[in-house]
Structure 1
Amino acid sequence: MDRDSAGAVCGCHGARGQGCHPRTAHPIASPRVRGPAVRTLPARRSPWPHAGRDLHGPRAGHHLPHGGQARALGLGIPPGTSVPTLSLSLDHVVIFVEDLRRASEDYAALGFTVVPGGVHAGALTHNALIPFADGRYLELLALTVSWKRRALRMLARGGLEGILMRRSPLLGRAIRRIRSGEGLADFALACSPLAEVVGVGEIDGPVSGGRVRPDGQKLSWRLAFPRAPVLPFLIEDVTPRHLRVPGNVIHPNGAAGVQALTVATGSFDRAVAHYQTLLGREPFETVAPIPRSLGVEFRLNGVVIRLMAPIGPAHPLRASLARRGEGLYGVVLSADRAANLDPARTHGAQITLAHPRNSTS
């Protein structure tokens, strides 16, 4: 892979506003890694030139954790604890927006078919969906009324998100994302059976959730929340999933599914361990698509989840980590054309269209 091409970020600028007009769609390389650039990591050996130190300085005798060591480190699981085998797959990506109607219009102008989703239980948020042929979807999520938005921001500025996270993982996690403003906020993995993972390590829940569709259909599901913010949340449907996720939706821009996610972290080894634990699989070494980055890939049912960490102070990921914290940084969608979408129209979300790649498991 060309180290200057950036999957979720156009290689000509690396971050919005550096070197090209933000409304220009640029052809990019598909985030395919060929030949020896990707390989399974051998146990108890760290292949990266920077693996002997963390991102802040040298640390003698350091090795990237693997296997049982990683599983214990990843979610605070005591040694010897049995970790359940789960059925996991990418469910959806959450994009927080200030105004749902305006965001829906902007995404429609980009060639997406946007389906009104309804109002969530408690009437705090409402959403619209951009469903794909692969069964996954983008969720445009907004607060329902402005006074609630102001109140949540006041709570976030007051440093109360930690208290809320303990009392209500869903609300605490939402406040942390909302404080960062519009853009990619989170992503969810469909998990079954959800009850098996709750209580093993640092995962809170289950929490009941639901939504009422515009046609009056009531939906319900259960959620669980890893305490590590770099990890996605987990969802399990109570009502049939086909009621929650519309099918047979065609997008004029040719988007057909989610191909890859990029997750930014400032604590590379710990983030890798978290994902090893949750996904129950080893990562693949990869050439990071943004120069001066550490990177590995996890393959999950046709979707690549790429973890990336910056090396050095002057790095595009640094600004994102400072503003938004660890978490989802970019999304690559399979489509019949290649382009970076205008962040002004995507409401801050780094979204790339790319030609389909071979399925990965």
Structure 2
Amino acid sequence: MALKNVIGIDHAVVMVKDLDKSAENYKRLGFTVSPRGTHSAHMGSGNYTIMFDPDYMELLGVLRPTEHNEPARAFLEKSGEGIERIAFTAVDSAQGAEEILARGYTPVGPTDFERPVMLPDGTESSARFRTFQWPTVEAPGGVRIFACQHKTRETVWIPELMKHANGAKRLKQVIIVAPEPAKEAAHMSKLIDREVRNEADGAVAVPSGGDRADFLFLTKDQLGKRYPGVSLAGLPERGGAGLVIVADVTAAEKVLGSVSVKSAGGIVVPPAEGNGTMLAFVKG
């Protein structure tokens, strides 16, 4: 039975080495990027968000080492930049944590935190969250998962931040490469109680729930065949590889120009240009 308090992918976390430079890079790629957020001293991190509907991307950087961000620092040291974890939307994080505990997974949290938010009218407010994590060792394809309950959606989904020059609208797929895609997909399927879907080329999809983006597990070679002409240089053999984004493809092509490649019916930014994350812009 599917989890009642987890309703699909909420956002993708792209771990970066230089937070401000990554934000400038994503602006260059035609995204509207939020003002910089700073998390609590306990977390020791900061972020920029790229808001879609109903999901988003988060550029996350370590501002000072803490016990909390040790896994993120280990990821940067081992893998470099890229998709480090995926968040699900939690209806109620406390109840969601109880749900996974009943399935044999000891949750980390729930944890409450907030960050200051500068609103478009110049006033300051805050974004408040309650999150819980699956155990760190439960990371299908090397990607950690957690769930996020938004207490103040109005300070996160700000209309002015949801319009992008590249036409980006929402996430369609989170791509994870692995030598054994079926094994990793089965792991994800078990963690979130969703059925796998086998695809013709051997890739395996796992719906995240509702109308939200799917996970797609495949080998690096299979990814290359799906996106001919796109350099996959810098991607790991096992780990988060990219995001498929529903967009106005004509707008994306106009904005991205020579940074991108036409492939698989869409416009694709190679990982080297996307802070370790391939970005495929496709029609809805």
Q: TM-score range by the shorter chain?
A: 0.7 to 0.9
Contact 2:34–2:50 under 8 Å retained in 1:
yes
The amino acid of 1:188's aligned partner reads A
Aligned counterpart in structure 1 of residue 175 of structure 2, from 262, 265, 282: 262
Asked if structure 2 preserves the Cα contact closer than 8 Å seen for 1:265 and 1:327, the reply is: yes
Q: Hey, what's the Cα distance between the residues in 2 that align with 1:188 and 1:329? A: 16
The one of the two structures with greater contact order (alpha-carbon pairs below 8 A, sep at least 6) is 1
Contact 2:206 / 2:214 at 8 angstroms: preserved in 1?
A: yes
Which of 90, 96, 112 is residue 194 of structure 1 equivalent to? 96
Shift of 1:83: 7.9
Higher Cα Rg: structure 1 or 2? 1
Counterparts of 1:304 and 1:83, CA distance in 2: 15
TM-score (norm 2): 0.74
> Whole-Å Cα distance in 2 between the matches of residues 101 and 286 of structure 1?
38
Decide whether the 8 Å contact of 1:194 with 1:236 is kept in 2. Answer: no
One-letter amino acid of the structure 2 residue matched with residue 127 of structure 1? N
The CA deviation at 1:138 is 0.8
Shift of 1:119: 0.8
Q: Equivalent pairs: percent with the same residue?
A: 22
Instruction: State the TM-score, normalizing by the size of structure 1.
Output: 0.59
Instruction: Tell me the CA shift for residue 239 of structure 1.
Output: 2.2
Pick one of 141, 147, 154 that aligns with 1:235: 147
Is the CA contact (8 Å cut-off) linking 2:234 and 2:276 kept in structure 1? Answer: no
Secondary structure, counterpart of 2:69 in structure 1: helix
CA drift at 1:209? 4.4
Residue 330 (str. 1) matches residue 242 (str. 2): yes
In the alignment, does 2:188 pair up with 1:275? yes
Q: Quote the offset at 1:331 in angstroms.
A: 0.6
Counterpart residue number, 1:114: 33
Aligned length: 244
The answer (yes or no) to whether the contact 1:198–1:206 under 8 Å persists in 2 is: no
User: In the TM superposition, what is the alpha-carbon distance from 1:270 to its structure 2 partner?
Assistant: 3.3
- Could you tell me which residue of structure 1 aligns to residue 228 of structure 2? none
Partner amino acid for 1:339?
A: I
> Do the aligned partners of 2:48 and 2:58 also contact (CA within 8 Å) in 1?
yes
TM-aligned CA distance change 1:318 to 1:228, over 3 Å: farther
Aligned-partner SS, 1:105: helix
Q: Which residue of 2 aligns with 1:96?
A: 15
Give the superposition deviation at 1:117. Answer: 4.2
Quote the offset at 1:202 in angstroms: 2.9
**Aligned equivalents of 2:22, 2:221: Cα separation in 1:** 34
Shift of residue 173 of structure 1?
Answer: 3.1
The answer to whether 1:351 aligns with 2:254 is no
For the structure 1 residues 334 and 344, does the alpha-carbon distance in structure 2 shift closer, same or farther, using more than 3 Å as the test?
Answer: same
User: Could you say if the C-alpha distance between residues 219 and 183 of structure 1 is closer, same or farther in structure 2, counting changes exceeding 3 Å?
Assistant: same
The answer on whether the counterparts of 1:229 and 1:327 sit within 8 Å (CA) in structure 2 is no
User: Matched residue of 1:178: which SS?
Assistant: helix
Q: CA deviation at 1:279?
A: 3.0
Residue in structure 2 matched with residue 183 of structure 1 by the alignment: 82
Q: Is the counterpart of residue 131 in structure 1 residue 51 in structure 2?
A: yes
User: Does residue 1:340 correspond to 2:268, yes or no?
Assistant: yes
For structure 1, the 5+ residue unaligned runs are: 1-81, 153-167, 289-293, 357-361
5+ residue gaps, structure 2:
118-123, 226-230, 250-265
Superposition deviation, residue 218 in structure 1: 5.0
Matches within 5 A, 1:1-361: 85-122=4-41, 124-132=44-52, 134-145=53-64, 148=65, 171-179=69-77, 180-192=79-91, 193-199=95-101, 200-214=103-117, 215-217=124-126, 219-226=128-135, 227-230=137-140, 232-237=144-149, 239-248=151-160, 249-288=162-201, 294-299=202-207, 300-302=209-211, 303-309=213-219, 320-322=235-237, 326-337=238-249, 338-356=266-284
Assess if the C-alpha contact under 8 Å between 1:329 and 1:350 holds in 2: yes
Question: Once the 2 structures are TM-superposed, how far is the Cα of residue 321 of structure 1 from its aligned partner?
Answer: 4.0
Query: What one-letter code is carried by the residue in structure 2 that aligns with 1:351?
Result: L
